[in-house]
A and B are shown apart, each in its own frame.
Chain A
Amino acid sequence: MFGSLDISTSALVAQRTRLNVIASNLANQHTVFDAEGNYSPYRRKFAVFAAGDPANGNDAGVHVRDIMEDDAPFRKIQVGVGNPLADKDGFMEVPNIDPMTEMVNALEATRAYEANITAAEATKSMMNSALRLLA
């Protein structure tokens, strides 16, 4: 039964990683410059899960296989031809992030996190009652 706690923990870690990625997307929804100061709109990132827990060498559990970038085209907003970042028609590219999508994903990740907490609580209650046989 101790293996069950490892499985729940692997899922908690994975869901929290996903929430981190979502938080980063929300924080950067207006970012158009990269860290070096070059014009390069922030691309939406997302976590991809895969079954199994290689960190523990376990078949059961879940892990983040990759954090990938969304290839969807950047959104374009009209800023006028005078803007130094605008193209010849007066449009400028901004990150391909929709805050609503991110919020819904964040909610889903939170619920999945809570479900795993519940599972861990159930494991603890089972272990407790089994251990009480000894006392």
Chain B
Amino acid sequence: MIEGLFNTGSLPVLERMVQFTSQRHKLLVNDIANVSTPGFVPTDVDPRKFQAVLAAAIDQRRQTQGGIYNGTIHPTDTEQMRFTDDTVQLAPSNSNDNILFHDGNNRSLESIMKDLAENTMAHNAGIEMIRNQMNLMDMAIRERV
């Protein structure tokens, strides 16, 4: 990572977002794979909790730097999320908010598919925004539009 070039503005935030969505994608894919496995309880990490941690980290960066949005962000680890240098490790919890079927699986295919679609869109949006930032940099370096 080049100091002051790749860790300014929204890039570190977008990086964390893409890391989180790609890890969560794995959980959701596993839930879909086990949709007819008896006794399997789907697992997930609430994206709202991740967003709260991320927002707190952005706030913290703003406060320590006084209005200049430079430097990497340092989200605090929670029970379900551990932030390492290059990824977010997820320790998912079982979701117990659906009807428990007789085979011991409380699947809800519709809500899992919705989560999957949402997560994919969030990931692609994050990647697209990183791409835009890179294009801006490219333009500045080449001095042409």
Question: Footprint of B on A, CB under 8 Å?
Answer: 1, 3-4, 7-8, 10-11, 14-15, 18, 48-51, 60-62, 108-109, 111-112, 115-116, 118-119, 122-123, 125-126, 129-130, 132-133
Contacts and interface: CB of A to CB of B under 8 A. Distances in A.
Interface of A is mostly: helix
Contacts of A49: 34, 36-38
A61 B38 contact: no
14 contacts: A10-B33, A11-B33, A14-B33, A51-B40, A60-B33, A112-B36, A116-B33, A122-B120, A126-B123, A126-B127, A129-B127, A130-B18, A130-B123, A133-B127
B29 to A, nearest CB: 4
B128 interface: yes
Contact of B32 (A50, A108, A115): A115
Contacts of A126: 21-22, 25, 120, 123-124, 127
A119 B22 contact: no
